[in-house]
Amino acid sequence: MQSNRNIKDAHLRLKLAWAWVQEEWPKRYPSDLTPFLTEVYRSPELQRAYYAQGREKVAIVNSLRRAVALAPISEVENRSIITKSKPGQSKHQKTPSEAIDIWFAKGKTLVDDKRLWKQLVDLIHEFDPGIKWGGNFQAVDKPHFEI
């Protein structure tokens, strides 16, 4: 498996923080969308495919994506850079993973909502203030949390 959303592959601090979120979120925000994990560990091959996006020709990007069983992207999608980390640099590639990505979704559509992100970040920081949120990074990465 090239990429996964299994919290078992995350560092203990992230595991505990995620368990806290799962326990507290439904109690505090029962009528809000529920956060879910989109990625935990990421292989160097997958990071290479992500890093190529927006930097290489779409044919090259899609060939890298095919190698890790990802669906091809379009020319338009290939206009956006989606990660600043080269293979080996992302905290998602540590064993155990030192980063997790969390999203909200309505059906299959991801929901990027300022209020939900704030609730989530505050909840995580209430449990472990040392976890860094990608929303505060120079290259903003809202779903990303790392130690």
For Zn ion, the binding residues (CB under 5 A) are: 99, 101, 144
| Smallest distance, Zn ion to C-beta of residue 66, A | 22
User: Which phi and psi angles does 5 have, rounded to 5°?
Assistant: -120, 30
Which is closer to Zn ion, CB of 58 or CB of 83? Answer: 83
Q: 112: which 2 tokens?
A: 């990027």
Q: Which CB sits closer to Zn ion, 60 or 82?
A: 82
- The CB-of-143 to Zn ion minimum distance in angstroms stands at 6
- Distance in Å, CB of 135 to Zn ion, minimum: 11
Q: How far from 131 is each of 13, 61, 136, CA to CA, in Å?
A: 8, 32, 12
The neighbour count for residue 43, using CB atoms within 10 Å, is 16
Q: Could you tell me how far CA 133 lies from the centroid of its own chain?
A: 11
Nearer of residues 58 and 99 to Zn ion, judged by Cβ: 99
> Which residue of the chain is nearest Zn ion when measured via CB?
144
Per the CB < 8 A criterion, the answer to whether 63 and 78 are in contact is no
Residue 63 or 135: which CB sits closer to Zn ion? 135
